[in-house]
């Protein structure tokens, strides 16, 4: 098993910088999820680690060893591709067997190895088929089997669930953590699905435009997003974002929402009078009686169930739209006028100009690449 480290890596394509002075360490046995929109540089990062493309600057270490100048075949990584990248002229068996063949294992060892992993992934019955004859799910499992079969110390999984249907994705999301944990490998997992990221990652690295914007546990990313962008990406329904200008009164710092003063906790002293954005998670809002202190009057516009939650769209008297979420089966209001309350403790405050969360301790400094 091996740790993984990227040190000040730069990758450019023509004039475009795809990875900008990126540093990252993944501990031995850890599962790191690379999360971000397409074009963020996640796949490029994986390929640099795999050794199929070379960095323009910087170094890559696997197990403490400098691998920067080493070709892919010597790096001892396993990789599953988003589009599977199966060899179309080989059977599923031969596909899976390729890493074992490369290590010159005996025929019987290859057979045992392939069957073992195939059983694990429930594709034992299609081993004689060529990729063309496999369903998408089978292709995906074959690709995964090929990455796993050699028990590589480092596993790179490039959005492996992207091209499979929802049902399979759901299943795999449950299966994968156990599978990866069993292997004990160091895993870098790329996804654009925040739930996948939350479910699989020991840590999540949020990437955007070639830099890591935030690196932390799923909990950290959710509770303390580094900026508006990340706050928006994590959470379903998405976070409510409202322009505010904090003020101070005797009770402390507050923001005005529909003439109601919502007091915030934490060290937001410096924000008085600044243009800010407040982020309110839908689940941090709740329907309350008119009588509740600081209740905000709203009009219910629409209501829709989402998974085990019910999401309600309400409009404030100033016309701002807000999403409110509550667990299914809990009381709420589905039409007419209503009142909501804000849990001031969980509110997030962002600087409007930069988008950074105020008081964030987890922001990655853009230039130095070091955690601030």
> Contact residues for other proteins (CB under 8 A)?
47, 50-52, 54, 70-79, 81, 83, 85-89, 98-106, 108-110, 112-113, 116-117, 132, 146, 149-152, 182
Nearest residue (CB) to other proteins, 109 versus 272: 109
**Cβ-based neighbour number of residue 139 at 10 Å:** 24
Q: Tokens for 281? A: 């998670």
Nearest residue (CB) to other proteins, 113 versus 137: 113
Instruction: Encode 7-41: b = buried (16+ Cβ within 10 Å), e = exposed.
Output: bebebeeeeebbbbbbbbebeebbbbbbbbeeebb
Nearest residue (CB) to other proteins, 14 versus 167: 14
Nearest residue (CB) to other proteins, 102 versus 328: 102
- H/E stretch holding 256 reads strand 252-257
Shortest gap between Cβ of 104 and other proteins (angstroms)?
8
In the block, which residue shows the tokens 């003439």? 259
Nearest residue (CB) to other proteins, 85 versus 294: 85
Q: Which residues contact 103 (CB under 8 A, 6 or more apart)?
A: 150
- H/E stretch holding 196 reads helix 194-200
Shortest gap between Cβ of 178 and other proteins (angstroms)?
14
Shortest gap between Cβ of 83 and other proteins (angstroms)?
6
Nearest residue (CB) to other proteins, 181 versus 353: 181
Nearest residue (CB) to other proteins, 155 versus 228: 155
| Rounded Cα gap, residues 272 and 269, in angstroms | 6
End-to-end CA distance of the chain: 29
Phi-psi domain of 63 (left: phi exceeds 0; alpha: psi -120 through 50; beta: other): left
Shortest gap between Cβ of 101 and other proteins (angstroms)?
8
- H/E stretch holding 16 reads strand 16-26
Number of helices followed by number of strands (H, E) in the chain: 8, 21
**Cis bond leading into 237, ω under 30°?**
yes
Shortest gap between Cβ of 9 and other proteins (angstroms)?
17
Q: Tokens for 63? A: 């197990």
Nearest residue (CB) to other proteins, 72 versus 313: 72
Q: For residue 121, which of 92, 162, 100 has the smallest C-alpha distance?
A: 92
In the block, which residue shows the tokens 């990126």? 22
Q: For residue 325, which of 279, 282, 280, 295 has the smallest C-alpha distance?
A: 282
Nearest residue (CB) to other proteins, 72 versus 199: 72
């Amino acid at each position: 098993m091996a740790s993984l480290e990227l040190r000040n890596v730069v990758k450019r394509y023509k004039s475009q910088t795809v990875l900008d002075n990126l540093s990252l360490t993944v501990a031995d046995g850890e599962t790191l999820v690379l999360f971000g929109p397409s074009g963020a540089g996640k796949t490029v990062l994986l390929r640099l680690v795999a050794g199929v493309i070379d960095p323009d600057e910087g170094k890559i270490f696997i197990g403490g060893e400098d691998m920067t100048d080493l070709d892919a075949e010597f790096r001892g990584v396993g990789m599953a591709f988003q589009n599977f990248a199966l060899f179309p002229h080989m059977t599923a068996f031969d596909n899976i067997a390729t890493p074992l063949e490369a290590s010159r294992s005996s025929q019987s060892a290859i057979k045992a190895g392939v069957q073992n992993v195939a059983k694990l992934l429930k594709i034992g019955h299609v081993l004689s088929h060529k990729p063309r004859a496999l369903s998408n799910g089978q292709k995906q499992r074959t690709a995964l089997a090929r990455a796993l079969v050699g028990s590589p110390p480092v596993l790179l999984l490039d959005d492996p669930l992207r091209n499979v249907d929802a049902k399979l994705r759901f299943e795999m999301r449950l299966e994968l953590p156990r599978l990866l944990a069993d292997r004990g490998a160091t895993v870098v997992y790329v996804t654009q699905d925040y739930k996948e990221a939350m479910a699989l990652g020991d840590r999540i690295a949020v990437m955007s435009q070639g830099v890591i914007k935030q690196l932390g546990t799923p909990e950290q990313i959710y509770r303390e997003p580094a900026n508006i962008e990340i706050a928006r990406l994590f959470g379903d329904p998405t976070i409510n974002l409202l322009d505010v200008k904090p003020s101070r009164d005797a009770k402390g710092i507050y923001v005005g929402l529909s003439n109601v003063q919502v007091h915030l906790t934490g060290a937001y002293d410096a924000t008085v009078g600044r243009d800010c954005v407040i982020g309110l998670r839908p689940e941090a809002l709740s329907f309350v009686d008119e009588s509740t202190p600081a209740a905000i009057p709203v009009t219910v516009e629409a209501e829709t169930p989402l998974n085990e939650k019910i999401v309600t769209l309400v409009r404030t008297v100033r016309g701002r739209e807000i999403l409110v979420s509550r667990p299914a089966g809990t009381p709420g209001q589905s039409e007419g006028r209503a009142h909501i309350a804000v849990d001031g403790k969980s509110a997030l405050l962002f600087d409007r100009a930069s988008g950074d969360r105020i008081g964030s301790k987890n922001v990655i400094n853009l230039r130095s690449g070091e955690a601030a």
